[in-house]
Amino acid sequence: MNKALKNLVIAIDGYSSCGKSTIAKDLAKVLNYIYIDTGAMYRAVTLFAMRNNIISNGSIDTEKLEKLLPEIKITFKQNPETKLNETYLNGENIEKEIRRMDVSNNVSLISTLKPVREYLVKLQRDMAKEGGVVMDGRDIGTVVLPDADLKIFMTASPEVRAERRYKELKAKGENVSLEEIMKNLAERDHLDTTRKESPLRQADDAIILDNSNMTPTEQLDWIVEMVNKKTGN
Ligand code: DC
């Protein structure tokens, strides 16, 4: 692999449940890059806040959370069986727990907090500094890595996104309804796009990928072509 290809920084942003992480993971695998799931990092802080009674019934003790932020150590480690990165909070594997519906219901609130964002953005920039990374989230192309070599902004219709999420959670044995998911997604879209701190928006130099009618393979082919254009391959 040539050096330019080895060191690209790729930012993928977009709405909840539009398949960012699937394509980001697949792309990282093809390129032999590191994949960083920044949503998992906001989810890890949320889980920490829930466990420490910092957030409950929609109210947050921001002062307490800010004080405890330095105690929140988030790392990713590859599962040797699945070869996928899993999220660790202070050494504990929390990959499964952070995908639960109650964490999803609280995460948007946590991600509106400036001290939390500042803390995580610093970690994310550190993780990307060597290059050779695919990072996905909401503010990667706009705030975290404004100089990324390739920026993708992903969208899909709300119905398609809800259906995908429904199937995903059902497969994991979660007892949720499609209505509940539609409601959670709509709420998260609203909070993500209207929040004061780093709202979700397309970077001026991002390329749009609407994957409503695309298979994962088609998406991967499309994005690899974008990478090849950047590297002149
Ligand atoms: O991608 P996800 O659904 O796992 O993200 C969880 C939440 O974290 C989502 O509601 C928005 C927030 N988030 C964010 O504010 N900034 C990021 N870079 C990534 C996620």
* Residue 233 domain flag: no
CATH number for the domain harbouring residue 191? 3.40.50.300
* Residue 122 domain flag: yes
pLDDT tens for the chain, residues 1 to 233? 454 456 899 999 999 889 999 999 999 999 999 999 999 999 999 999 999 999 988 899 999 999 999 999 999 999 999 888 999 999 999 999 999 989 988 998 999 999 999 999 999 999 999 999 999 999 999 999 999 999 999 999 999 999 998 998 899 888 899 999 999 899 989 988 999 999 999 999 999 999 999 999 999 999 999 999 998 87
Cβ-based neighbour number of residue 126 at 10 Å:
9
Q: Which of 12, 18, 42, 161 to mutate for ligand 1's pocket (most ligand atoms within 8 Å of CB)?
A: 42
* Residue 232 domain flag: no
Nearest in space to 126 (alpha carbons), one of 151, 149, 144: 144
State residue 57's pLDDT score: 85
Retrieve residue 133's tokens.
């990374």
Domain that includes residue 141, residue range? 3-227
CA distance 4 to 34: 15
Question: In 3-state terms, what secondary structure has residue 204?
Answer: coil
| Residue nearest ligand 1's atom 5 by CA | 39
* Residue 43 domain flag: yes
Cβ-based neighbour number of residue 197 at 10 Å:
14
Ligand 1 atom nearest to 192, measured from its CA: 11
* Residue 185 domain flag: yes
pTM, entire model: 0.92
State residue 112's pLDDT score: 92
* Residue 28 domain flag: yes
- Taking a C-beta distance cutoff of 8 angstroms, is the pair 43, 32 a contact? no
Number of residues in the chain: 233
Separation of 13 CA from ligand 1 center, angstroms?
A: 10
Q: Is the dihedral of CA 97, 98, 104, 109 positive or negative?
A: positive
- Taking a C-beta distance cutoff of 8 angstroms, is the pair 85, 37 a contact? yes
CA distance 133 to 8: 7
* Residue 54 domain flag: yes
State residue 159's pLDDT score: 93
Domain count for the chain, please give it: 1
* Residue 213 domain flag: yes
Question: In 3-state terms, what secondary structure has residue 210?
Answer: strand
Nearest in space to 72 (alpha carbons), one of 40, 104, 99: 40
CA distance 106 to 9: 30
Looking up tokens 């519906």, which residue turns up?
Answer: 101
